[in-house]
Structure 1
């Protein structure tokens, strides 16, 4: 009996140990090795296909932000989904029009997705994407432009609108410098010569005429980026998109995101496709 108990404990510990993995993708699109964190359910079975959730981090953070913000193993196990947290750097998950060696959108679909599908049995009907702050923008941007690939998407505290003067204000508030605008200029070019606003979520919704899917957006009531979420909420509702939104007490910080992300997974679970 004692041996059986020890074997059972050992199996549980082994499952937990291998439920999370970090590996690197040698990317031609980004000309570097890109770290990716994968969290599987604790009771993962290789013979079973799982829904997939891409989780994008915020500006000035990295692929480990989500695991520092919330219990990824619990989310993966409770909702029986595989979670993927790729490194996103500071370029808003975009193909750069200014840097030939930074084509993130191409990396995502041409290198990251195939690698995940090679390693894991994915339920392709149920691929979701979410993100916080910069990652909230990335999630909605990739979803709107590739809506046939994803089931649906979510954004928490999203930096959704690209406006030079507003970027400058936000950068000064959070970093006491113009580092955000300088990084964006490296990605999109001089704002006097290139129209940054065409990359805003509002512009994408206006220009993607065939887009008709719903998504989930939320933001803290005291978040400096709240106006972004409210703007997208009003635009989406005017287009009769079946969105859900939530404005809760909170600021632009991990305390808020650790709570808000659970709503994303509830939303994803409600939208699981069986056929």
Structure 2
């Protein structure tokens, strides 16, 4: 596998941005892992999102995501979403537009990654779990599946309990009454997406000692009440920690790659 650190200019944000990218590479002498990229192939791609207190480097620093992705010949794009909840802020930058419109086009122009829906996946943890679910539910024509670990699953509850600085949260989402169901509310988005012929598959995971457990259970109950197809929910021992996420991203990749004929 190859690991690339990429700086690029975002017209949407009006400034320089960063992403780290993992790409399959055809090698024969690499010790301890295998990778069999090469040729003219465009690889399936996972957009992997970080949490509130981290940046685009964190998945490679805290987990073995490069080694895990090698098993599937999967490209991984890890963008810097800062603290914007992958949202076009009420008062601030348009992180949603950058993530879902600008970034995929830039990445596909730089790297041999597919833009087909059946080859495109999204995952994340905490704030990034929220972003991953929102990508799949709001743009179901773009993503085949999503994995959300320890997600901020209920933005209304998040705003009401002020899990972050209230002024900062208000700049992002406004107040609870400002939430637009078709944009940032996962519960309302699910109600629309489930009506489609082929909604993206979803996997949610949360630790039993995680402060976000109740919100995850609430979204699980909502998705189950809608009979959302292709939905998987898991709980296990653990808190809001990298030990938990490193374990479950492995299971998440298995979920994303289910049914692919090109997986080794």
| Partner in structure 2 of residue 219 of structure 1 | 206
RMSD of equivalent CA atoms: 2.1
- The one of 129, 146, 156 aligned to 1:163: 156
The structural deviation recorded for 1:79 is: 1.5
The 1-side partners of 2:8 and 2:85 are apart by 19
Shift, 1:224, TM fit: 0.5
User: 2:97 matched to 1:113?
Assistant: no
Shift of 1:121: 2.4
Aligned counterpart in structure 1 of residue 16 of structure 2, from 33, 42, 46 = 33
Secondary structure of the corresponding residue to residue 155 of structure 2: coil
Aligned residue for 1:219, secondary structure, equals strand
Asked whether the equivalents of residues 220 and 248 of structure 1 are also in contact (C-alpha less than 8 Å), the reply is yes
Shift of 1:186: 1.3
Tell me the residue number matched to 1:175.
none
Q: After superposition, give the CA deviation of every residue in 1:153-198 in whole Å (9 maximum; x if it has no partner).
A: 110000011126x446463xxxxxx52x332211223x17623777
User: TM-score when scaled to structure 2?
Assistant: 0.85
Q: Secondary structure at the match of 2:86?
A: coil
- 2 CA distance for matches of 1:53 and 1:30? 22
Indicate conservation of the 8 Å contact 1:20/1:39, yes or no. Answer: yes
- 1:144 aligned partner: 137
Is 2:226 the counterpart of 1:233? no
Helix, strand or coil for the counterpart of 1:23?
Answer: strand
Of 3, 22, 33, the residue aligned with 2:5 is 22
Rg comparison, structure with higher value: 1
1:21-40 CA-partner distances (Å, limit 9, x unpaired):
11122112112211000011
Deviation string, structure 1 residues 106-164 (Cα, Å, up to 9, x no partner)? 11233210111112222323110000000000001011111111111110000011126
Contact 1:25 1:112 (C-alpha < 8 Å) held by counterparts: no
SS at match of 2:134: helix
Query: Aligned pair in 2 of structure 1 residues 214, 73: CA closer, same or farther (>3 Å)?
Result: closer
> What secondary structure sits across from 1:135 in the alignment?
helix
Superimposed CA distance per residue, residues 45-92 of structure 1 (whole angstroms, 9 cap, x where no aligned partner) = 142221100000000210111112211220221121000100011111
List alignment gaps of at least 5 residues for structure 2: 27-36
Partner of 2:250: 262
Aligned partner of 1:64 in structure 2 is 57
Residue 206 of structure 1 and its aligned partner are, at CA, apart by 2.5
Name the stretch that deviates more: 104-113 or 86-95: 104-113
Q: TM-score, normalised by structure 1?
A: 0.82
User: Does the aligned pair in 1 maintain the 2:143–2:200 contact within 8 Å?
Assistant: no
Unaligned runs of 5+ in 1: 1-15, 172-177
